[in-house]
Amino acid sequence: MPDRETLLKILDLARWAPSGDNTQPWRFEITGADELAVRGFDTRDHILYDFEGHASHLAHGALLETIRVAATGFGLQASWNLRPGSPDTAPVYDVRLRETPRLPVDPLFPYIEKRVVQRRPMRATALTDAQRQALASAPGPDYEVDFFESASERRKVARLLWDNAYIRLTCPEAFEVHREIIEWGARFSKDRIPEQAVGVDPLTARLMKWAMRSWSRVDFLNRYLFGTIPPRVQLDLLPALRCAAHILLRPRGALVNLSDYVNAGVAMQRLWLTATASGLHLQPQMTPVIFRWYAQAGKAMSATPEIGRRVLDVAARFERLSGAPGGSPVAFFCRVGNSSAPVSRSLRRDLGDLLRAPSHD
């Protein structure tokens, strides 16, 4: 039986799993000598990017895969099950850890803490065959990995992200989210995205901070002073051009229920850890995927009709560009490339904040 200290060490590593906007939608319980429960939640009620909780469900998968990888470092084989009857809004994952003689340490183990999002432009150095091969096989046989690498493909993605970003920056409902998730003036943040990791220069950051005190300031800047241009150039256009490749992760089966999204999160984390192990940095660029989820479900993202029209347009163009037409599922969209490590990053809540006494429901 593993001791409690070992379980705590595994959870301490697993905390480093990524989540949209660093929301960390999980709490942990140690439920037995070789058992953990992960209590998931989602942020759909106040974060519009968490469409039907899917982004949180991807993060749950990333966390569960990180627990599995971390456990191999302690000779433990982890397996998990979704607790029957737990609701999609509060799924409980029961994790068993079995001592397994001669269990090899997962080669991704050393990269759990090194994996980090890189939002700044990277070098456009092409992927090596070995890197492409490692990334293509990382998520396993249930997923296809599409690469968009040529200069012309990167330009097409850049154009799409440029228009996509206009929606992000002019949508009043998104403004509320951005206001909540950025920790201004910070280089590190335990529960949000620190200002310096957002990816804009210090002057633009100051302007954003000033503008974000009220929607009327943002709206004024956008309408009369080309306010969307500097963030769009720095956060979307340049990063989209300056990378080695854009990557689309496509499940071979449909994404229908909670488990499908959690499994896709496992695949996403394997891809991201493999990128790190291959010496690459990665940035998810999930908003076109999320806008497409809204469009496919026929749901409005905003009370502003103009935003709705633009969301449908971006979703349709994303389908054409990605070659994923006819509603075929897309789990994750990101870019990868070579760069030095970001100087600023999100940290995590302390393990003590994430641990709960076990409850028996």
Ligand X SMILES: Cc1cc2nc3c(=O)[nH]c(=O)nc-3n(C[C@H](O)[C@H](O)[C@H](O)COP(=O)(O)O)c2cc1C
Binding site for ligand X (CB under 6 A): 18-22, 55, 58-59, 62, 116-117, 119, 193, 283-287, 345-346
User: CB-based burial of residue 248 (10 Å sphere; 0-12 exposed, 13-18 middle, 19+ buried)?
Assistant: buried
Cβ at position 177, least distance to ligand X in Å: 12
User: How many angstroms separate the CA atoms of 152 and 233, rounded?
Assistant: 18
Residues 6+ apart with CB under 8 A from 213: none
Cβ at position 337, least distance to ligand X in Å: 14
Smaller CB separation from ligand X, 76 or 157: 157
Cβ at position 74, least distance to ligand X in Å: 22
Three-state secondary structure call for residue 41: coil
Q: Both tokens of residue 337? A: 């490339």
Smaller CB separation from ligand X, 55 or 221: 55
| Pure H helices in the chain | 4-14, 54-72, 129-137, 151-170, 172-181, 195-198, 202-211, 215-224, 229-232, 238-241, 258-277, 287-297, 305-322, 351-354
Cβ at position 75, least distance to ligand X in Å: 27
How far is residue 31 from each of residues 12, 74, 89, 352, measured CA to CA in Å?
16, 19, 21, 16
Smaller CB separation from ligand X, 113 or 306: 113
Cβ at position 355, least distance to ligand X in Å: 20
Cβ at position 203, least distance to ligand X in Å: 20
Smaller CB separation from ligand X, 188 or 220: 188
Smaller CB separation from ligand X, 128 or 185: 185
Cβ at position 95, least distance to ligand X in Å: 19
Q: Both tokens of residue 232? A: 């769009």
CA 31 to chain centroid, in Å, comes to 28
Smaller CB separation from ligand X, 117 or 307: 117
Please name the helix (run of DSSP H) or strand (run of DSSP E) that holds residue 133, with its range, or none: helix 129-137
Backbone conformation region of residue 22, classed left if phi is above 0, alpha if psi is from -120 to 50, else beta: left
Give the number of other CB atoms < 10 A from CB of residue 257: 11
Smaller CB separation from ligand X, 82 or 268: 268
Cβ at position 116, least distance to ligand X in Å: 4
Bridge partners of residue 335, in order along the sequence: 246, 283
Smaller CB separation from ligand X, 6 or 66: 66
Residue nearest to ligand X (CB): 18
User: How many angstroms separate the CA atoms of 322 and 245, rounded?
Assistant: 13
**Closest alpha carbon to 315 in 341, 295, 337, 336:** 295
